[in-house]
Structure 1
Amino acid sequence: MMNFEAARIKMVENQIRTTDVTSHPVISAFLSVPREAFLPQEKKALAYIDEDIPVSQAADDKPARFMMEPSPLAKLVQLLEVKKNDVVLVVGSGEGYSTAILSLLANSVVAIESDENLASESSQHLADLGYDNAAVVTGNIEEGYAPEAPYDAIFVNGAIEFVPQALLDQLRDGGRLVAVEGYGNAARARLYWRERDVCSYISAFNAAIRPLPGFTKAREFEF
């Protein structure tokens, strides 16, 4: 039988610490959350590999969804610099793992998911494991979740083509948003922050992660 605790420690030591993740709270969260608990039985043995893990199939022009590889996830979470009193929005809860990680760092977390099955599964996973400061709602992830805004931090849980203004508008003054913009090797992790009504950003590092559905710019018609 697989020793998941040993695998979790090995993941942190070999995949996370080795990629410039030095935040003690972030490392502690990754050591604490049982990654395997967010996967179906037939995939639990894959929980700690250094690859993305499929959690839903592609359908109706929507991409397949994945549990993000540990290393880029940890780097993105560290970049967001979540504080204990923060209210956080997760855009695209997926299976719920990233929401659980962030719930250990924040005061409370709201996660929005467009896939009803994934929303139900992630909500159940979080409840089963006792992460009672996190809630999952179903809706259009491109629109964020205005009823609980403003947020101190927003985490976009997958690659997108651009950050919609609707998400930036839901940041509190001084709030931060982390997203990977672009796809494949050209993708960059960006940290946005809001000062009054102005949002600025810096590009932090390359990060090739799987895309979220939507978040594509309208194509201009060409004759």
Structure 2
Amino acid sequence: MNALQRMIKDIEQEARLTRHLTGKEALDPRVIAAMRQVPRHAFVPEDLTYLAYENGPIPIGAGQTISQPYIVALMTDLLKTRPTDRILEIGTGSGYQAAVLSQLVQKVYSIEIIESLAEKARSRLSKLGYDNVEIRTGDGYFGWPEHAPYDGVIVTAAAPYIPPALIEQLKNSGRLVIPVGLPYGYQELKVIEKTDDGELKTQTILSVSFVPLTGKHDLDLTDYT
């Protein structure tokens, strides 16, 4: 068994172990196929490639990380993507999550607040041939209104509360997947579904640990639910 096969096995095993929290016996086969297709070692620092297929997060510089493979797979699964979808990602990081999504949807728009990471991710994705991903440098709290509305929104950093702009830019019948909680404190992975009538249905999936969503916006840390 090679490292990639072991990573996939670890993802499938963790999905079974957390089924009482997620309600999922297994993840969507399309998501598992996408995880197989993307070379995770190309998205981690060169001196840490030996960790690339371990089921854990890896630092990528600037205080950021590439998320645990199981969490990447789970969040992707929770979006319930379709091939025609246009997805907004907040927090490009290394570009790994965007690359996985690019295998499943028509277009990924991704925002990264740290310019050096955005530039590296843009170059990396281009070299690897992920040409349906567009990256901009900016504060993801405000979304990317020029291309809204989106079929789905995924946030890869924890916010004290759900940014209103992301709800506004989500299509009716769309889904927002986001970790919500205090920086380096208790956080929960949530799915917000916007119904056909524009109403919101929120589901809490499991506890998680993400780096915080950063930016110049005013975050009220007393209200993070």
TM-score (norm 1): 0.87
Rounded Cα–Cα distance in structure 2 between residues aligned with 1:92 and 1:122: 11
1:8-44 deviation line (CA, Å, top 9, x unaligned): 1110102x10122421001001111000111232121
Gaps of 5+ in 2: 16-25
Name the CA distance, whole Å, in 2 between partners of 1:194 and 1:96: 26
**CA separation in 1, counterparts of 2:218 and 2:102?**
29
Partner of 1:50: 55
Q: What is the CA–CA distance in structure 2 between the aligned matches of 1:106 and 1:50, rounded to whole Å?
A: 24
Which residue identity is paired with 1:36? H
Alpha-carbon distance, 1:46 to partner: 1.6
Shift of residue 219, structure 1, vs aligned partner: 5.4
Shift of 1:139: 1.0
Distance 1:205 1:51 in 2: 16
Contact 1:68–1:210 under 8 Å retained in 2? no
2:140 corresponds to 1:132 = no
Identity %, equivalent residues: 31
Matched length:
209
Q: Partner amino acid for 1:18?
A: Q
**What are the Cα deviations for residues 175-202 of structure 1, in whole angstroms up to 9, with x where unaligned?**
1100011156732111111133432211
Report the Cα offset of residue 209 of structure 1.
Answer: 2.9
Give the C-alpha shift of residue 50 in structure 1.
2.4
Other structure's SS at 2:2 match: helix
1-side partners of 2:35 and 2:218: how far apart? 31
1:154 aligned partner: 153
Contact 2:87/2:153 (8 A) holds in 1? yes
Q: Secondary structure at the match of 1:173?
A: strand
Q: Please show how residues 62-81 of structure 1 align to structure 2 within 5 Å.
A: 64-81=63-80
Report the equivalent of 2:201: 200
Provide the secondary structure at the position in 2 that maps to 1:159.
coil
Matched, 1:12 2:43: no
Q: Check the 8 A contact 1:100/1:126 in 2, yes or no.
A: yes
Please give the residue correspondences for 1:158-197 in structure 2 after superposition, counting only pairs within 5 Å: 158-183=157-182, 186-195=186-195, 196-197=197-198
1:42 and 1:216 map into 2 onto residues whose CA distance is: 37
Q: Secondary structure of 1:160's match?
A: coil
CA contact (8 A) 1:65 1:212 kept: no
Aligned amino acid, residue 182 of structure 1? G
Query: What code does the residue aligned with 1:218 have?
Result: D
Q: Which amino acid aligns with 1:114?
A: I
Cα RMSD, aligned residues only = 1.9
Unaligned 5+ residue runs, structure 1? 58-63
Distance 1:78 1:216, change over 3 A: farther
- 3-state SS in 2 of match to 1:101: helix
